[in-house]
Amino acid sequence: MSAIGRSLKRLEDRPLLTGDGCFAADNRADGQVHMRIVRSPIAFGRILDIETDEAKALPGVIAVWTAADIADLPPIDFRMTRIAGLEPYRQHVLARDYVRYVGDPVAVVFADNPYIAEDAAELVFCDIEEETPCLDATADPVAFMPERDPALLSEAAVITKSYGDMEAAFAGAAAIIEMELKVGRHTGVPLETRGALAVRDPETGVLTMYGAAKVPHYNRDSIARMLGLEPEQVRLSEGHVGGGFGIRGELYPEDVLVCAAACRLGVPVKWVEDRREHLMAANHSRDQVHRIKAAVDANGFVRGLVDTFYTDQGGYVRTHGGTVSDLAAALLPGPYLIPAYHVEGHIRLTNKTPSGTYRAPGRYETTFVRERLMDAIAARLGLDPMEVRRVNLIPEDRMPFDRGIEALGTHVLYDSGKYHDLLDRTLTRIGYQDLKADLARRRVAGEAVGLGIAFFVEKSGLGPHDLVTMAVQPDDTIEIVTGAASVGQGVETAMAQICSDVLGVPIERIRVIHGQTDRIAIGFGAFASRVTVMTGSAVKIAAEALRDKAIALAAPLLQADVRTLTLEMGCVVSRDSGATIGLAEIVAQSGKDLDAEGLFRADHMNYPYGIHVAQVRVDEAVSGIQVERYLVAYDVGRAINPMLIEGQIVGAAAQGIGGALLEEFIYNEEGQPLATSFADYLMPTCHEMPPVEVLLREDAPSPQNPLGVKGAGEGGITAVGAAIAAAVDDALGRPGLITSLPISPRRLHALLRR
């Protein structure tokens, strides 16, 4: 039986269930000292002085640094961007001249224990001349670096993409629809906050940072470059990770500081942030305003679409560069034809926490925008929202579909898709007509209940390549080494299943090593839903090479023709004689290593797609929204482990519901963050979560990789905001009511009163 397509239990779970997990805060070393960050208490101002004498005098304090003490360290560079002009907006590890958000690191304290470090941090006095903060990304750009370059404005870049004849599209329109839509600022909030332990071996000089996540190889190279070391002098080691979601594992100032301190102080240095720091200093996300204008015909077909949007980037541009805005601009058209399109995306700096990527970056936002537009078209023309979508969907016979624009430097070419088919299956699954009739009856009886449906296209499998090595061990197990990272998505299990499918070895005999930069030369980590596509394809290539090598080595041992040998259940079998030999025995008898490597290259992403269905009940008396039913239909091309995918979908839906109804970072007029604890930053609990139904499909395998797979990590969140917004409109009988997320009780109350 093939190992692919089976819901096998996760290999990762045993150490977690037995208490043997090792997370960032669990790392410790003899003689370690503790690091604490001193953060700016104001949003924008010029640094006059940072007084550290009192902190340095506290017993147990080892050192206190300001920017002057580490003036040789360059700003943190970008990991992903092809957008010119962003370099002046990078962040130094400690603020220089000006602070640009509440939480901006201005000094760092090192002490014998974390309590002394925190006490000492309180004694550091920051003399800052406060200035008026910029908190509105749609306002006119202002000077970003008044101390150095007054001509450098807070608009870091403008992204434009377009195709088609826009003039003709609008000239023949039956209706023109204009809307302003907003998605509020929120972020991923993993169970595990950020943390790291840096240790430099006094004998070899090798610096090791424990607690790495997401992109260990990239962060290793960046840390080495910033510290003036060779890459082989730096090692990053990934342990267990308590949630990733895009924001964990980027290269933050604290990561560089802990490594620099281990080198300069000559002792191990440990840092773990508290929850307040995480909510104030780790990457935020979303926070976009879109102003769209669409030309449609009498059937609701979108002839042309123009969008101008603003991304609130916060105080600096961090490692992701312009990724969020670039993806928003490229993937806004989604699954629809839209023959003419023009977008202008403004990346604006404000005095808020810097923003970065968070699960489905740019797509959560633009799916809300695009699907709100589809509902507005239906309302304006008196059409069924599903029929408006149906008339706009890209037909199957147009696949592969060339969008005519680029995303992240790769051409947007939808590789495969049966959009109409998935819509039909979804409507059948929920009993669309009967469900609408039932909701209508409930509304007549006085309940405010409604249905919302939203379509989306995701992206996955970002290249350019991935490498794995594979070797048979003396105990007859197989070791796979990959540069991928594990952030909870089941990397070890999925890679073992792909290997098992080729070699016939039970997954329990396959060990996957990941996130260790000293074990493999190339590694791109885990982001952009790339691991199953890229790493999985490399595993398949390596397993096939190992299979062929095993057969070649076994042939003389079995005195058989290679053409008569097969690999079955981890043994080479002769079809002629029935003789068998195990893989470890081949190694022992031949005296040769049984190993292989697989390198998979890809110059295009691939595009999974799906539909979200939300059924909600609105309690107008308390301005509350209850999600009664939720369904995600998702086509991933081919499912390696359906249970893992369904788990990811359910978890992502929970995050999407948080962003749609509860989570938001709010600032007052002085730029002070008003949500720095769970008392103010509200997250969904089991009380707010409905059961999530999953309709998992494999109707459109990708032709771009040998497995036919597409990414599965982000589709569960992408359309949540759009589907719930449509459902609330429907429940209240007010089309177009919801134009902003989250639909918090306060915001809904204001809308109902209006």
- The sign of the torsion formed by the CA atoms of 682, 685, 688, 690 equals positive
Residues 467 and 457 in one domain: no
- Provide the terminal-to-terminal Cα distance of the chain, rounded to the nearest Å: 61
Residues 617 and 698 in one domain: yes
Residues 625 and 533 in one domain: no
Residues 533 and 581 in one domain: yes
Boundary (domain end) residue, out of 577, 601, 625: 601
- List, as one string, the DSSP characters of 650-676: HHHHHHHHHHHHT----B-TT--BS--
Query: H or E element: which one contains 614?
Result: strand 609-619
What confidence tier does 208 reach under pLDDT thresholds 50, 70, 90?
very high
C-alpha span between 376 and 738 (Å, rounded) = 11
Boundary (domain end) residue, out of 566, 584, 601: 601
Q: For residue range 452-465, what is the model confidence (pLDDT) as tens digits?
A: 999 999 999 988 99
Residues 477 and 453 in one domain: no
Residues 471 and 383 in one domain: no
pLDDT mean over 105-128: 98
Angle at 647 between CA 641 and CA 652, to 5 degrees: 130
Share of the chain above pLDDT 90, in %: 94
Question: Looking at the domain assignment, is residue 727 inside a domain?
Answer: yes
Structure tokens at 324: 């969020």
One-letter-per-residue 3-state SS of 345-388: EEEECCCCCCECCCCCCCHHHHHHHHHHHHHHHHHHHCCCHHHH
C-alpha span between 267 and 674 (Å, rounded) = 37
Residues 393 and 501 in one domain: no
Distant-in-sequence, close-in-space partners of 516: CB < 8 Å, separation ≥ 6: 216, 235, 236, 237, 238, 481
Give all strands of the β-sheet with 571-574 in edge-to-edge order: 565-568, 571-574, 580-582
Residues 576 and 609 in one domain: no
Q: For residue range 309-367, what is the model confidence (pLDDT) as tens digits?
A: 999 999 999 999 999 999 999 999 999 999 999 999 999 999 999 999 999 999 999 99
pLDDT mean over 4-21: 94
C-alpha span between 515 and 484 (Å, rounded) = 6
Task: Please report the pLDDT score of residue 611 as a whole number.
Answer: 98
pLDDT mean over 657-669: 97
CATH code where residue 256 lies: 3.90.1170.50
Structure tokens at 176: 């023109």
Q: Kind of pairing, strands 143-145 and 478-482?
A: unpaired
Task: Please report the pLDDT score of residue 488 as a whole number.
Answer: 86
pLDDT for 187 beyond 80: yes
Task: Please report the pLDDT score of residue 395 as a whole number.
Answer: 98
Share of the chain above pLDDT 70, in %: 100
Question: Looking at the domain assignment, is residue 202 inside a domain?
Answer: no
C-alpha span between 142 and 348 (Å, rounded) = 10
Residues 503 and 490: beta-carbon distance below 8 Å: no
Q: What is the mean pLDDT of the chain?
A: 96
Report the length, in residues, of the chain: 754
Task: Please report the pLDDT score of residue 754 as a whole number.
Answer: 81
pLDDT mean over 702-718: 96
Residues 124 and 101 in one domain: yes
What confidence tier does 145 reach under pLDDT thresholds 50, 70, 90?
confident
Q: For residue range 129-144, what is the model confidence (pLDDT) as tens digits?
A: 999 999 999 999 998 8
Q: Is 436 exposed, middle or buried (0-12, 13-18, 19+ CB in 10 A)?
A: middle
pLDDT mean over 567-593: 94
Residues 239 and 486: beta-carbon distance below 8 Å: no
Compute the CA torsion angle 458, 461, 463, 466 (nearest 10 deg). 160
| Residue that the structure tokens 């103010």 belong to | 680
Question: Looking at the domain assignment, is residue 171 inside a domain?
Answer: no
- The sign of the torsion formed by the CA atoms of 544, 548, 554, 558 equals positive
pLDDT for 378 beyond 90: yes
Question: Which pTM value belongs to this model?
Answer: 0.96
Task: Please report the pLDDT score of residue 150 as a whole number.
Answer: 83
CATH code where residue 403 lies: 3.30.365.10
Residues 516 and 536 in one domain: yes
- The total number of structural domains in the chain stands at 3
Residues 446 and 467 in one domain: no
What confidence tier does 279 reach under pLDDT thresholds 50, 70, 90?
very high
Task: Please report the pLDDT score of residue 527 as a whole number.
Answer: 84
Q: Kind of pairing, strands 609-619 and 33-39?
A: unpaired
What confidence tier does 580 reach under pLDDT thresholds 50, 70, 90?
very high
Task: Please report the pLDDT score of residue 84 as a whole number.
Answer: 87
**Which residue range(s) make up the domain with 38?**
25-131+248-273
Q: For residue range 528-559, what is the model confidence (pLDDT) as tens digits?
A: 888 999 999 999 999 999 999 999 999 999 99
Task: Please report the pLDDT score of residue 514 as a whole number.
Answer: 95
| Residue that the structure tokens 């839209």 belong to | 338
Residues 265 and 381 in one domain: no
pLDDT mean over 83-108: 96
Compute the CA torsion angle 334, 336, 338, 341 (nearest 10 deg). 0
Task: Please report the pLDDT score of residue 312 as a whole number.
Answer: 98
C-alpha span between 491 and 486 (Å, rounded) = 6
Task: Please report the pLDDT score of residue 490 as a whole number.
Answer: 92
Least reliable range by pLDDT among 294-298, 601-605, 728-732: 601-605
